[in-house]
Amino acid sequence: MIKRFKKIIKSLPVIGPIVSWWINRKNKYKNATYWIEKYLSDGRSYIIQIGANDGVSGDPLFDMAQKHENWKLLLVEPVLHLFDQLKNNYGNTVRVTYVNAAINEDGGSQSFYVIDQKAYQEIPNLSRDYEQIGSFDKQHLISLGGERLRKFIAPIEVQSYSLIQLLDLYEINHFDALLLDAEGYDWLILKQLDLEKHRPKIIFFEQTHLNSKDVQDFWNIFSEKYAIYRFTINFLCISKDVLLPGDLRKLSSKALRL
């Protein structure tokens, strides 16, 4: 009934365009990428993305990065065939640094679990989304893929760095955004961030694999300096140093409250 009413209102010659504008304006506030772009579009932003995958599939950054050619990106992806696709999708450009590695707590060469490509040959219509769930934790892949994929879970050796090692290796003293999609390792990576030394404007990461203690620990550390919002499976954190007062109201329905 409500959808039908909105459709009728939108069809009215004078009122319709105004209502459509108002609805579209309200809807954009529900999209995390709107807020990421808003707070990064004022200059030469430096963005770190950990778990960049192929750069396109389900990716929040790619379209924005194409619009903002003054942004610099450090893109981290451990799985070689996805890393090659990532480089192909972004292209050879000096503003993008590619890192074929994984990020964890220790660094060094380690086993990393992926779904073997044979799975796509033997299981009809298997979603390519499973290419996006590599992890240091084999059990994590089993829990997501189920028993039918257990025999296709294969270890690969990858170079890994801690977050601090990554920043030191690439001599990064300042960055404006940190985006994470690390399949259960997001909090293990994020808690390495020294907020006295590095305080990016934006932190965006998948929170579905955090348990209640992880969420509480995250809140205890980050809520003093960041406003934290839940967008479906992700947390969006905006530094209180840059958050505009008017945006507090627009984001109020998304605010994380513990």
Percent of the chain with pLDDT over 90: 76
CATH number of the domain residue 197 falls in: 3.40.50.150
State the amino acid at position 171 in one-letter form.
E
Is residue 5 one of the residues assigned to a domain?
no
Instruction: Note the pLDDT of residue 23.
Output: 43
Is residue 168 one of the residues assigned to a domain?
yes
Phi then psi for 120, rounded to 5 degrees?
-75, -20
Is residue 197 one of the residues assigned to a domain?
yes
Beta bridge partners of 160: 102, 108
pTM: 0.88
Is residue 56 one of the residues assigned to a domain?
yes
Q: Indicate the number of domains in the chain.
A: 1
- Give the residue numbers spanning the domain of 59: 31-105+163-254
pLDDT, one tens digit per residue, over 70-82 is 999 999 999 999 9
In this prediction, the residues of the chain whose per-residue pLDDT falls under 50 are: 2, 16-24
Is residue 152 one of the residues assigned to a domain?
no
Instruction: Note the pLDDT of residue 21.
Output: 40
Given a contact cutoff of 8 angstroms between Cβ atoms, the answer to whether 57 and 181 are in contact is no
Instruction: Note the pLDDT of residue 112.
Output: 95
Is residue 249 one of the residues assigned to a domain?
yes
Instruction: Note the pLDDT of residue 183.
Output: 87
Is residue 153 one of the residues assigned to a domain?
no
Is residue 158 one of the residues assigned to a domain?
no
Distances (CA, A) of 160 to 54, 100, 193, 206, 217: 18, 9, 17, 20, 25
Ordered DSSP codes for 19-46 = HHHHHHHHHHTT-HHHHHHHHHTTS--E
Instruction: Note the pLDDT of residue 19.
Output: 41
**What is the DSSP pairing of strand 153-162 with strand 72-76?**
unpaired
What span, in angstroms and rounded, lies between the C-alpha atoms of 49 and 12? 45
